Structure 1
Amino acid sequence: MKLSSTALLALAISSITANAYADPASQDFVPTTLAGSSAQSEAKGFIDGQSLGGTTRNWFSNEQKFRGGKFTYQKHGEARTDAYRTNWVQGTILNYSSGFTQGTVGVATEVAAYNAVVLDRSKRDIKGGSNRTLADSNGDAVDQWSKLGLANVKFRVSNTTLTAGRQNFSSGIVDTIGNRALPSSFEGVSFNSEEFSNLSFQGGVFDRVSPRTEQSLSKFRTEYGNGAETDKVNTLGVNYQPFKSLKTSLFAANVEDFWNQYYFGATHELGDSQTLALTTGLNYYKTVDTGKKLMGTIDNDTYSLSLGLTHQAHSLTFSYQAVNGNEYFDYLHETNGIYLANSLTSDFNGPNEKSFQIAYGLNMAEYGVPGLKFNIYSARGWGIDGTHYTGDGGRAGFAYNGIQAQDGEKHQEYGIGTSYAVQSGPLKATAIRATYVTHRATANQADGNIREFRLVTTIPFNIL
């Protein structure tokens, strides 16, 4: 990884601040020992350990394209356009989890039914459907639909669990994404091992994804590619906490005939937020093509470095991000496999792009209103250059269409948001979040010119 002078400066600032405000106790080394207890030895049984509950989420979004941008939809067989798109969906998850049976090998199961009710069914509003509202082949909203979001069997020995079936999984490369009315999930086999005090291992083999706004399973494809599909995703990694203040994660994934991708992440915390606390975050991805190279020739190094300062209710974060490669930094569609600091409404992941973000947060708990938070941010990306992209490699041709037209493109994004989590009563833990974002870009930048207001309310509930 080649760090720019800006990144090196940020690291230097981090080091200086650390020396000034470090809390010695927070820097203690954490020895690696066997876990103090066995989760399986404490199993309550299949019935006694069961639970039934879930969430219901009201998800509303209104978007407006500007500077000539338009959404397109079909009406009476004709293509029509306008600048607005509205999606409003109620998504509900009913989740049943059994307890683990007792004994050396515990067995459990998890089943979750996902249901969506479309509250805005206007063809003109939804613009023919997207990953926000499910629509049929005519572009009409599917008024109500359901599916099995999760359905798996789990086997546990000591603190190691093997899960087979439709499931959630979380890592820096393959991660369930939940930013719509319903989340995604993955079909396959995975394991999670926590046999040590500060060291855990995860891995999985997945062949299908259950998308956020689709009823059926799909093959994996990429977020920015040409629609090519892969039959298998293999991933393996480790999470390690060498110091009380430092958490690290290292993962690798083979996406069959697409790429091999490697991820390293680290978060370091220092100081006391009542005086001054410093949080430094580093995320790094290396992506290289493999197999049939269905996404073309790829040799991409992408990283982000963030520096966050917190004093009581106030936080200020600076984030620098760089893409070193002639193609997008790409990741798997229907996953949250992008842990970069400047992945916002735009991912700021264009070829050879550099970006910088400054963000401010206010936690009103310090002023007697726990659960209420505000945030505002500004991010700028520049130097986008796809003119050296060749698109060659196997059968791919141009996997990233239009990328060669990106020559010196730049863009900027502004956002403001507020959230509130109910602290007590029958609606305890209900989360309400409102955000407003504006994104402006030059002609050939991929995300265009758009404004969006989003209001999301998530209510958890327990039955058993």
Structure 2
Amino acid sequence: MRKTSLALAVAASTLGLSQVAFADFIGDSKANLTLRNFYFDNNVRNAANSPSSQEWGQGFIFNYQSGFTEGTVGFGIDAVGLLGVRLDGGGRSRTPAKDGQSRTPGALFPLESDGSAVDEFSKAGLTGKVRFSKTEARIGTLTPKLPILVSNDGRLLPQLFEGGQITTNEIDNLTLTAGQIERAVGRASSNSTGLSVAGGSQASNKFYFAGGDWKVNNDLTAQYYYANLEDYYKQHFAGLGHNLALGEGSLKTDLRYFRTTADGKNGNAAGRDGGYRTSRAFGDGTGEIDNNTWSAAFTYSLGGHALMLGYQRVSDDSNFVQLNQGGIESSAGASVYLLTDRLAHNFTRAGERTTFGQYSYDFASLGVPGLKASVAYLKGTNIQRADGTEAKEWERDLALDYVFQEGSLKGLGLGWRHGVLRGNAENDVDQNRLIVSYTIPLL
């Protein structure tokens, strides 16, 4: 009876609100359905029991964003629904784990108990939002794009996080953000799990963050963020971006610095032995997080041409880390906010010194709008293994994209990614991805 009375009260109060209160809520609503056809070929060339795989799937990504109700305080709801359907591949390309052990997921799909890919998987999320003046609070499903946490969207379906976030722009040219993340759903998983880092096997359910972006002027932006994954690490980030006009072109400067130290159980041997650790294969071998990483990149653009050159250095004691799902469900697969986060690898091992470059061209300058291409090369040296030896690696990436600009196929996107990773830090990899995408507006 109490539940019925409460439901009736809510319904009555909702009906009692004026139609004006919901005008923006409904009128400003947006919805679309993205169709993503994804072929993934990952050829591991020099591994025993090679985990090479070829997978092909169709993804359906539904996004709904409401407007806000009228009034001093506005309320709204966002929703996301994701479905991945296997078209081919994903068979027993990986050795099934022994009883009681987690299995390595496929690149696009989670695995059945026998090690084969599932026929389909799905996930969904709901986000409540509140707006007051120039401040917005969100609670529920989040896909953050911040220097200390980047939701990965590089496979069939995107990675999702669960928590709360508040963003304010009350001060002109200053955006402040703070929040807490409690759980995550991997890009190749339907399950919500706790949080960890690469190499960790124990879950933390508290990731706090806060920071801001200050637009000093039209050409200069400064950033600072702080993050804390309880029992794993504390991280400070400082960034600076600047644009300088040079004749008919422009020069973009991108400077990034991270300072990451141990927190809680990662700071003592007993906690690390219990699973609160990062990789012990590199650095000092303890699994304790103690890292400085900085990078500098410069991009010169002229017409359709863009040439980027950069350098990144990781300190010796441990790998660079950011929030992941680690070995909790083996559904790891996260992005890091570094320019070296590429197709096959991210060049974040202890001691690694990476020189990188990329050339991009937009064919709109030649009268072919929608066609873009790029080639990148990264070389990492001075990688510090825990056994005292050094390693090195390099990666070459090619990308080609075309989006139809008119006609019945307008908006249809075609993409090809090809990556080659070589070195003695891990297995050599040849990787190809073919992506066909199309977004259908529904509202």
Q: TM-score range by the shorter chain?
A: 0.7 to 0.9
1:329 aligns with 2:320: yes
- Which residue identity lines up with residue 286 of structure 1 in the other structure? R
1:267 aligns with 2:241: yes
Counterpart of 1:55 in structure 2 is 34
Q: Pick from 161, 166, 174: which aligns with 2:149?
A: 174
Counterpart of 2:437 in structure 1 is 458
Counterpart of 1:432 in structure 2 is 414
1:69 aligns with 2:67: no
Cα contact 1:305–1:341 (8 A) shared by 2: no
Q: What is the CA–CA distance in structure 2 between the aligned matches of 1:461 and 1:339, rounded to whole Å?
A: 30
Task: Give the CA deviation at 1:337.
Answer: 5.1
Cα contact 1:364–1:371 (8 A) shared by 2: yes
Q: How has the CA–CA distance of structure 1 residues 126 and 120 changed in structure 2, closer, same or farther, with 3 Å as cutoff? A: farther
Counterpart of 2:281 in structure 1 is none
Cα contact 1:86–1:126 (8 A) shared by 2: no
Cα contact 2:196–2:232 (8 A) shared by 1: no
After superposing the two structures, state which structure 1 stretch, 247-256 or 125-134, moved more.
Answer: 125-134
Q: Pick from 276, 300, 322: which aligns with 1:309?
A: 300
Cα contact 1:267–1:280 (8 A) shared by 2: yes
Counterpart of 1:232 in structure 2 is 206
Q: What is the CA–CA distance in structure 1 between the aligned matches of 2:22 and 2:218, rounded to whole Å?
A: 29
Counterpart of 1:7 in structure 2 is none
- Which residue identity lines up with residue 122 of structure 2 in the other structure? S
1:115 aligns with 2:83: yes
Counterpart of 1:104 in structure 2 is 72
- Which residue identity lines up with residue 391 of structure 2 in the other structure? E
Q: What is the CA–CA distance in structure 1 between the aligned matches of 2:90 and 2:75, rounded to whole Å?
A: 46
Counterpart of 1:410 in structure 2 is 392
Q: Pick from 254, 260, 268: which aligns with 1:281?
A: 254
Secondary structure in structure 1 of the residue aligned to 2:364: helix
TM-score scaled by length of structure 1: 0.80
Secondary structure in structure 2 of the residue aligned to 1:405: coil
Secondary structure in structure 1 of the residue aligned to 2:158: coil
Cα contact 1:43–1:49 (8 A) shared by 2: no
Counterpart of 1:183 in structure 2 is 158
- Which residue identity lines up with residue 202 of structure 1 in the other structure? T
Task: Give the CA deviation at 1:181.
Answer: 0.7
C-alpha distance after superposition, 1:183-217 (max 9, x if no partner): 11111111111223311111111110121111120
Secondary structure in structure 2 of the residue aligned to 1:47: helix
Cα contact 1:87–1:125 (8 A) shared by 2: no
Q: Pick from 146, 167, 170: which aligns with 2:122?
A: 146
Counterpart of 1:134 in structure 2 is 110
Q: How has the CA–CA distance of structure 1 residues 203 and 122 changed in structure 2, closer, same or farther, with 3 Å as cutoff? A: closer
Q: What is the CA–CA distance in structure 2 between the aligned matches of 1:366 and 1:159, rounded to whole Å?
A: 39
1:85 aligns with 2:53: yes
Cα contact 1:283–1:339 (8 A) shared by 2: no
Counterpart of 2:284 in structure 1 is none
Counterpart of 1:6 in structure 2 is none
Structure 1 unaligned spans of 5+: 1-40, 71-80, 387-403
Q: What is the CA–CA distance in structure 2 between the aligned matches of 1:124 and 1:136, rounded to whole Å?
A: 10
Q: How has the CA–CA distance of structure 1 residues 102 and 131 changed in structure 2, closer, same or farther, with 3 Å as cutoff? A: same
Q: What is the CA–CA distance in structure 1 between the aligned matches of 2:388 and 2:373, rounded to whole Å?
A: 35
Q: Pick from 110, 123, 139: which aligns with 1:164?
A: 139
Structure 2 unaligned spans of 5+: 1-19, 97-104, 267-275, 278-286, 325-331
TM-score scaled by length of structure 2: 0.83
Task: Give the CA deviation at 1:422.
Answer: 2.3
Q: What is the CA–CA distance in structure 2 between the aligned matches of 1:431 and 1:92, rounded to whole Å?
A: 15
Task: Give the CA deviation at 1:267.
Answer: 1.5
Counterpart of 1:11 in structure 2 is none
Task: Give the CA deviation at 1:226.
Answer: 3.1
Task: Give the CA deviation at 1:438.
Answer: 0.8
Counterpart of 1:368 in structure 2 is 367
Task: Give the CA deviation at 1:82.
Answer: 4.7
The size of the alignment, in residue pairs, is: 390
Task: Give the CA deviation at 1:153.
Answer: 0.7
Q: What is the CA–CA distance in structure 2 between the aligned matches of 1:371 and 1:287, rounded to whole Å?
A: 40
Cα contact 2:379–2:393 (8 A) shared by 1: yes
Q: How has the CA–CA distance of structure 1 residues 178 and 42 changed in structure 2, closer, same or farther, with 3 Å as cutoff? A: farther
Task: Give the CA deviation at 1:426.
Answer: 4.8
Q: Pick from 290, 298, 309: which aligns with 2:263?
A: 290
Counterpart of 2:172 in structure 1 is 197
Cα contact 2:54–2:89 (8 A) shared by 1: no
1:320 aligns with 2:311: yes
C-alpha distance after superposition, 1:313-339 (max 9, x if no partner): 222111100001311111112575522
Cα contact 2:53–2:93 (8 A) shared by 1: yes
Q: How has the CA–CA distance of structure 1 residues 409 and 42 changed in structure 2, closer, same or farther, with 3 Å as cutoff? A: farther
Secondary structure in structure 1 of the residue aligned to 2:365: helix
- Which residue identity lines up with residue 101 of structure 1 in the other structure? T
C-alpha distance after superposition, 1:379-432 (max 9, x if no partner): 11100113xxxxxxxxxxxxxxxxx13621001111111111222345433332
Task: Give the CA deviation at 1:131.
Answer: 4.3
